[in-house]
Amino acid sequence: INTILGQEYRWPTTVPYVLDSSVILKAFEQYRLKTCIDFKPWSREPNYIFQSRSDRDDYVTIMWDQIKKGKKNNFNSYDETESSSLGVPYDYGSVMHYSKTSFSKEREPTIVTKIPEFLDVIGQRMEFSDSDLLKLNRLYNCTTASIFLDSCQFEEPNICGMIQGDEDWLNGLLSNKGYTSTGVGFFMHFSTATGTQGDKAYLESRLFHPKRRSQCLQFYHYNSGGIDDQLNIWVREYTVKNPKGALRLIQKIRGGRRGSWELYHVTLDVSDKFRVVFEGVKGRKPSKGGLSLDDLNLSETKCPQYTWRIRDFTRLLATTPAGSKTYSPRFLSPDGYSFQIGLNINGLKDSPNKIAVYFHLTSGPKDDNLQWPCPWRQASMELMDQNPDIQHRMNNIKMITTDPNETSTDCKTQSYRY
């Protein structure tokens, strides 16, 4: 996968588009989160799409006799006078790579990888690979991403430029209780095992300069302390009226599930420069531990409306038969529709070993005031990659749109199907 040579073939960092589906808006956000590239409505600029590396044949074999008539031009390769790899190694996992059966006459492979283990890897369409991002950012000279603000795993001694109060959050090493095996496992910890009720510790981020009026703060929190220990999320906003910064409370986290790393998404609504402040507060109840933080990510994106964590997933993966479905709790959409997610962890009986995801509308408390059969609503379901850095995650995103012209009814269950 190469880039065509010649500056005249580059878009400016704003790429024109024609909007055929709102699904594409989700893809735009991934470009903005991971590169400096943005988008604008198309105003009749020419198109430039190009691929096929000059060194392709070192890594894959093209099965020319399996390619459909008239499609062989899709497998042309171009030498280094026409294209550049931008110094990035060949990437079997690129989102731009053809799959093994692309343009095949009879579903037989048209591309065979010279390393057999990658045969079923090529053609992934989940997300950018790290090499894809490296190329895009080199091609457009990106030094920062458009809507990315920060990611911190506390692996470095400078703890991502964060500022500590007098009662320190300490940089600790993850034990066997960690939720991720990546990195060396450092996190921030405020001990509530000693001290008195009301003791506080502050951890304050570096300064951020937002471009939008809404941000999503994502982090993992582990409570090994007292049941009434509390974590407060503040923002310190710097305005003309408050040039030294004014604190505003965003959310309190108290109680909840203890003894495991829990994922939190917190929506911020800041338009001026700001810092995020984590405040740990010791409660009255006895404690043998404290409050811990890890894997912070801050971006100018929308937080998900709901998060469903499937606990003990490794065991379920090993024991759940194909065709057996696991259901999420019921959720309520902003306009009142009740829904839940169904997941075949090991696929269907006739298609095992592949995860199947379903979106179900369910009966809810506001049904009498809603329009049925729920026309033109869109749902996005995202299986989250465990990479701690949001810019390097390859999440698997599926979207559906309810079309009232494409429904059928089930007389037994008195339900609509889209």
User: If DSSP codes are grouped into helix, strand and coil, which group holds residue 392?
Assistant: helix
Calpha distance 64→242 (Å, rounded): 68
pLDDT on residue 55: 87
Residue with tokens 């979207």: 399
Q: What angle do CA 330, 331, 336 make, to 5 degrees?
A: 125
User: If DSSP codes are grouped into helix, strand and coil, which group holds residue 270?
Assistant: coil
pLDDT on residue 175: 44
Local mean pLDDT, 10-residue blocks, the chain (418 residues) = 51 55 77 87 58 83 96 86 81 94 94 96 91 89 93 92 82 53 72 94 96 97 94 98 97 88 97 97 94 96 96 94 96 96 94 90 95 89 94 91 77 58
User: Phi-psi category of 182—alpha, beta or left, where left has phi over 0 and alpha has psi -120 to 50?
Assistant: beta
Output the six-digit token pair for 409.
């009814």
pTM of the entire predicted model: 0.82
pLDDT on residue 410: 64
CA atoms within 13 A on the CB side of 347: 6
Domains of the chain and CATH, by start? 3-139 (3.40.390.10), 148-299 (2.60.120.200), 313-417 (2.60.210.10)
Helices (H), 299-394: 313-319
Q: Give bridge partners of residue 200 from the DSSP assignment.
A: 281
The H-or-E segment that residue 381 falls in is: strand 378-383
pLDDT on residue 12: 58
Output the six-digit token pair for 337.
């529709």
CB within 8 Å of 167: residues ≥ 6 apart: 190, 199, 200, 201, 202
Report strand pairing: 60-62 vs 111-113: antiparallel
